[in-house]
Structure 1
Amino acid sequence: MTDVVSGRADRDIELQLADEAATAQLGAALAAAVPGPALIFLSGDLGAGKTTLVRAWLRGLGYAGPARSPTYTLVEPYEIAGRRIYHFDLYRLADPEELEDIGWRDYADGESLCLIEWPERAERVLPVPDLHIRLTPADGGRVARLTAHSEAGLAAVARII
């Protein structure tokens, strides 16, 4: 799947993803590595692979339907095997307070998996994530930097490496 490029203890790892297939493999691995509720941030420029990663994550959880990007709706809900997953795309967010207007706190109830693309658009509203994944283009593929900010995040990183 990936080559571990670098790491800082078990809190922060960097993975080289050769192509889109490797990004999808990481998504599937994350589906297994994050077994419970969590808040996950996904950062990167347009086309970095954030939505590809989320789609593979959903497939890894057993979702077979179409996985839409919530660029215009802000959030796309999923129910997979009794588990609630919310995929947010905050790219078009004009003001972080809009997140409050859509009932953000109801989604982030500590019982759901929240996958948030473009979290920097709402930094002052969002809490610290369990895991922050940054995708950047590199050598025809991309680099994924996973940074854990909680015990759940640490456990996920440990399962990936």
Structure 2
Amino acid sequence: MRETKLDKSFELFEIKAVAEEIIKNLSSKVVLFYGDMGSGKTTLIKALVSALGSEDEVSSPTFSIVNEYAISKGKIFHFDLYRIADEEEVFNFGIEDYFESDAWIFVEWPQILESFIPEPFHSIELKTNSASGRTLKLK
């Protein structure tokens, strides 16, 4: 079982500070995001991308599967695997190459790849408490 590094309840207006706190607690550039639809995974990723120094427009890659954002020291790849039917589909677009890079990798809906994702990585579980309240667990 993975150790919890951060267990936090917050309001959405605090998301920038939460993103900065998450980054301080990361020892890996690979982060998997779990949570129900509408729990704020993409919103949190937008804040993380900004905190890492990117000025790129962040949007959900639901249909493109992966979005790329530039930062001064490399790239961030943001995956949304919600529409992926099976592992073969992600291997067809070469996801293993992304994991072998030195880039930041943020993956929404990673369940289909759990057995493939190489260590080390972190996971963030988001839960909705209210219209603007969330709880996250960083492991």
- TM-score range (shorter-chain normalised) is 0.7 to 0.9
Which structure 2 residue ranges, 5 or more long, are not aligned? none
Aligned-pair identity in percent equals 31
The CA deviation at 1:121 is 2.7
CA contact (8 A) 1:42 1:117 kept: yes
The CA deviation at 1:50 is 0.5
| Separation in 2, partners of 1:99, 1:82 | 26
1:74 pairs with 2:74: no
1:14 pairs with 2:7: yes
Between 20-29 and 46-55, report the one with greater CA deviation. Answer: 20-29
Instruction: Report what 1:49 is aligned to.
Output: 40
CA RMSD of aligned residues (A): 2.1
Q: Aligned to 2:100, what secondary structure does the other structure show? A: coil
Instruction: Report what 2:110 is aligned to.
Output: 119
Between 135-144 and 38-47, report the one with greater CA deviation. Answer: 135-144
TM-score by length of 1: 0.75
The CA deviation at 1:14 is 1.5
The CA deviation at 1:92 is 0.7
CA contact (8 A) 2:32 2:106 kept: yes
| Separation in 2, partners of 1:120, 1:109 | 19
CA contact (8 A) 1:37 1:111 kept: no
1:59 pairs with 2:55: no
The CA deviation at 1:139 is 4.4
| Separation in 1, partners of 2:85, 2:16 | 30
**Structure with larger RCO (C-alpha < 8 A, sep 6+):** 2
Instruction: Report what 2:136 is aligned to.
Output: 144
Instruction: Report what 1:157 is aligned to.
Output: none
Q: Aligned to 1:108, what secondary structure does the other structure show? A: helix
Q: Aligned to 1:78, what secondary structure does the other structure show? A: strand
Count of matched residue positions in the alignment of Structure 1 and Structure 2: 136
TM-score by length of 2: 0.86
